[in-house]
Amino acid sequence: MSVFERKLVRDFLHKTGHFCPIRRTLNAQNTATQMNIQPFLQENKDRFISELFELLRLPSISADPTYSSSVEKTAELVAYHMRNAGISGVEICPTPGFPVVYGEVIRNATGPTVLVYGHYDVQPADPLELWETPPFEPTLRITSIHPNGAIFARGACDDKGQFFMHLKAIEAMMASGSLPCNVKFMIEGEEEIGSANLAWFVERNKEKLACDVILISDTGMLAPGVPSITTGLRGLAYMEIELTGPNRDLHSGLYGGAVANPLNAISALIAQLHDKHGRVSIPGFYDKVADLPSKFRQELGLAPFSLEQYKDALNLPDIKGEDGYSTLERTSIRPTLDVNGLWGGYIGEGAKTVIPSKAYAKISMRLVPHQDPEEIALLFQAYIESHAPQGTTVKVTPHHGGHPYVCPPEHPGYRAAHKAVQQIFGKAPIPVRSGGSIPIVALFEKELGVKSILMGFGYDSDAIHSPNEHYGVDNFTKGIETIPWFYTYYSEEFTQ
Ligand code: BES
Ligand code: MN
Ligand code: MN
């Protein structure tokens, strides 16, 4: 970022009042060392944001091999920022895929150790034409939800802007000498493509990654003024269907009506995947889904939610989902099946009269405790294979998957996150189950035997994976302020 651009950022932040010193009433737990972080944060905010801009300029799209050198460069920039923050033993650890960037600050061999996880890869940016400013040229803009400005760029919220808060929080704590525990960092480059090689890395580096709790900022909060902490993630089973009809594309006049049309057939097959109550029709799909106690469902219903605002934000005439469940339940505690892509035949300019030889679909299923992604993939495969429409053959290929995850609010890490968020946001955070997936989290629990705390700071409206992804400047700075409190409270919980 040029000196001129840095000045632009600084002016923007000043104009929006972002540089007003934060005043907060001290409570008994505010230690002198903690408060020393404030001046450092105030002084360095514009640098932090300009550094984040630099990180966002690298198109680290893990799914597309065209960008692999950018992904590698991003790993190097992450390592550079770790070293600059004062983190030791920084390594770019090779894997069969993109590298994991690792570093640590070991304060005390017997003290608690927190492992921070994040990902430096991002989703593809398409459709490019829907971006108001280019995805890899970060800009600051004011929105109704972010009156103090938001950073627009692919990866701003998911997850560069969020893991970067952790590097800046450590930098601030190292500068003021107030870090109360050991911290390890593991920032990977393949989360958006299923973290297959991170599993490889974790299995081989259990000692290096040994910790008491994992801290992750890769989720969201309910809304401005409604802080929340994620207590669960859904699992995932991702499948692809290839449906074949005739051995070549055919003239739709000469053959139409006499042979199965793969696109008609795949549409019929997909239409059968839900019944009239919005439930998935695959036999056995719900067998392991536990009915949650009504007390839990009542608590979930306490989270503020306006159906009208929800519909408005998405320009929807109405909502649709499984009968008997609220929108919040449908997107958190219930399993789902969605077509993510459907293609075949002619989609070019004008019209071509053709019956395609093949049709394809990509389908994801979000899973809840205690569904097993491998079992669900097999059930899906068996169902599709036995329902191939007359005159067609089907092939089902599983892609990545992951187990669901839940964290009990009684966990000391959760309690520490609760106190830290309350400290900075001024309100007790609400525990929420998220509909998204971070498949590696369940694997951490299995391989390392530790729980992950999902202390994320984005909003659903931040448009992750969509055009115009953004991350609020306030969310970024409040996140940096919250993280040190997590370490403080976690260390307290740990020694109690
Ligand atoms: N950070 C998201 C997951 C997320 C976002 C969880 C918001 C909860 C709230 C993560 O990067 C992601 O996109 N995960 C993928 C799964 C992955 C295997 C591609 C997802 O949920 O689709
Ligand atoms: Mn993410
Ligand atoms: Mn993502």
Q: Same structural domain for residues 132 and 116?
A: yes
pLDDT at residue 109, rounded to an integer: 76
- Torsion, Cα 113 119 120 124, to 10 degrees, reads -170
Q: Does the residue 165 lie in any domain?
A: yes
Q: Relative to the CA of 400, which ligand 1 atom is closest?
A: 18
Q: Is 218 in the pocket of ligand 1 (CB under 6 A)?
A: yes
Q: pLDDT digit string (tens) for 412-447?
A: 999 999 999 999 999 999 999 999 999 999 999 999
Q: Relative to the CA of 230, which ligand 1 atom is closest?
A: 8
* Gap from CA of 436 to ligand 1 centroid (Å): 5
Q: Is 220 in the pocket of ligand 1 (CB under 6 A)?
A: yes
Local confidence band at 292 (pLDDT 50, 70, 90 cut-offs): confident
Asked if pLDDT for residue 211 goes beyond 50, the answer is: yes
**Closest residue CA from atom 13 of ligand 1:** 192
* Gap from CA of 122 to ligand 2 centroid (Å): 8
Q: Same structural domain for residues 196 and 78?
A: yes
Q: Which residues surround ligand 3, an ion (CB under 5 A)?
A: 158
Give the closest residue to 330 by CA, choosing from 476, 434, 470, 428: 434
Q: Same structural domain for residues 168 and 255?
A: no
Q: Does the residue 319 lie in any domain?
A: no
Asked if pLDDT for residue 3 goes beyond 60, the answer is: no
Percent of the chain with pLDDT over 90: 86
Q: Does the residue 469 lie in any domain?
A: yes
Q: Does the residue 454 lie in any domain?
A: yes
Asked if pLDDT for residue 19 goes beyond 90, the answer is: no
Q: Is 62 in the pocket of ligand 1 (CB under 6 A)?
A: no
Count of structural domains, the chain: 2
Q: Same structural domain for residues 270 and 194?
A: no
* Gap from CA of 59 to ligand 2 centroid (Å): 15
Q: Same structural domain for residues 413 and 361?
A: no
Q: Does the residue 178 lie in any domain?
A: yes
Q: Is 463 in the pocket of ligand 1 (CB under 6 A)?
A: no
**Closest residue CA from atom 1 of ligand 1:** 218
Q: pLDDT digit string (tens) for 159-177?
A: 999 999 999 999 999 988 8
* Gap from CA of 119 to ligand 2 centroid (Å): 7
Residue ending a domain, choose from 346, 367, 401: 401
Q: pLDDT digit string (tens) for 302-325?
A: 888 999 999 999 999 999 999 999
Give the closest residue to 49 by CA, choosing from 125, 131, 156: 156
Q: Which ligand is nearest to the CA of 124?
A: 3
Q: Is 438 in the pocket of ligand 1 (CB under 6 A)?
A: yes
Q: Is 437 in the pocket of ligand 1 (CB under 6 A)?
A: yes
Q: Same structural domain for residues 85 and 174?
A: yes
Residues 175-199, mean pLDDT to the nearest whole number: 94
- Torsion, Cα 14 18 23 29, to 10 degrees, reads -130
Q: Relative to the CA of 364, which ligand 1 atom is closest?
A: 22
Q: Is 436 in the pocket of ligand 1 (CB under 6 A)?
A: yes
Q: Does the residue 309 lie in any domain?
A: no
Q: Same structural domain for residues 104 and 224?
A: yes
Q: pLDDT digit string (tens) for 24-67?
A: 333 334 443 454 678 898 899 999 999 999 999 999 999 999 99
Q: Same structural domain for residues 120 and 249?
A: no
CATH of the domain at 274: 3.30.70.360
Q: What angle do CA 96, 106, 220 make, to 5 degrees?
A: 65
Q: Same structural domain for residues 87 and 105?
A: yes
Residue ending a domain, choose from 350, 366, 401: 401
Q: Relative to the CA of 439, which ligand 1 atom is closest?
A: 18
Q: What's phi and psi for 107, nearest 5 deg?
A: -95, -35
Q: Is 399 in the pocket of ligand 1 (CB under 6 A)?
A: no
pLDDT at residue 111, rounded to an integer: 82
**Closest residue CA from atom 5 of ligand 1:** 219
Q: Same structural domain for residues 100 and 116?
A: yes
Q: Relative to the CA of 438, which ligand 1 atom is closest?
A: 14
Q: Is 121 in the pocket of ligand 1 (CB under 6 A)?
A: no
Q: Relative to the CA of 435, which ligand 1 atom is closest?
A: 8
| Residues of the domain holding 353 | 235-289+335-401
Q: Does the residue 322 lie in any domain?
A: no
Q: Is 118 in the pocket of ligand 1 (CB under 6 A)?
A: no
- Mean pLDDT of the chain, nearest integer: 92
Q: Is 439 in the pocket of ligand 1 (CB under 6 A)?
A: yes
Q: Which ligand is nearest to the CA of 195?
A: 1
Q: Does the residue 33 lie in any domain?
A: yes
Which mutation among 191, 340, 407 tests ligand 1's pocket best, with the greatest number of atoms within 8 A of CB?
191
Helix axes 160-176, 473-495, angle to 10 degrees: 60
Q: Which ligand is nearest to the CA of 338?
A: 1
Q: Same structural domain for residues 227 and 242?
A: no
Residue ending a domain, choose from 378, 401, 424: 401
Q: Same structural domain for residues 223 and 360?
A: no
pLDDT at residue 496, rounded to an integer: 75
Q: pLDDT digit string (tens) for 482-493?
A: 999 999 999 999
**Closest residue CA from atom 19 of ligand 1:** 192
CATH of the domain at 159: 3.40.630.10
Cα separation of 23 and 26, whole Å? 9
Q: Relative to the CA of 119, which ligand 1 atom is closest?
A: 11
